[in-house]
Structure 1
Amino acid sequence: MNRREALKSVAFLMGSAISATTMGVLFENFVLPEKEKNFVSFSATDEQILSEFAETIIPTTASSAGAKAAGLGTFIPMIIRDCYPANFQKLFADGLKEMQIKCSEEFNKDFIAMSNEERNQLMSSLRDDAIATNKAPSFFLIARDLTILGYYTSEIGCTQAREYLPIPGRYDGNVPYIKDQKAWATN
Structure 2
Amino acid sequence: MDRREAVRNMAFLMGGALSATTIGVFLDSCNSPSTKTNGKLFDDNQLKLITEVADIIIPTTSSPGAKAAGVGPFIALMVKDCYPEDAQKAFVKGLDALEEQSKDQFKKSFLEISPAERTQLLSKLREETIAATKAEQDKQKEADAQKTDPDKAKSQTENAGFASILPKDKPKTEPRFFSIIRDLTLLGYFTSEIGATKAMAYVDIPGRYDGCVDLKPGQKVWA
CA contact (8 A) 2:129 2:179 kept: yes
- Percent identical pairs in the alignment equals 49
Shift of 1:102: 1.1
CA contact (8 A) 1:54 1:73 kept: yes
CA contact (8 A) 2:6 2:191 kept: no
2:194 matches 1:156: yes
Shift of 1:5: 3.9
Cα distance change on mapping 1:15 and 1:110 into 2, 3 Å: same
Cα distance change on mapping 1:29 and 1:67 into 2, 3 Å: closer
TM-score by length of 1: 0.88
CA contact (8 A) 2:33 2:82 kept: no
Match of 2:177 in 1: 139
Q: Displaced runs of 4+ in structure 1, greater than 3 A?
A: 1-6, 36-40
CA contact (8 A) 2:11 2:23 kept: yes
Shift of 1:30: 8.0
Aligned partner of 2:73: which letter? T
**RMSD across aligned positions (CA):** 2.1
Q: Distance in 2 between matches of 1:139 and 1:13?
A: 22
Alignment of 1:106-185 (within 5 A): 106-134=105-133, 136-185=174-223
What runs of 5+ residues in structure 1 fail to find an aligned partner?
none
Bigger radius of gyration: 2
Shift of 1:11: 0.6
Aligned partner of 1:77: which letter? A
Aligned partner of 1:121: which letter? Q
Cα distance change on mapping 1:31 and 1:162 into 2, 3 Å: closer
Aligned partner of 2:181: which letter? A
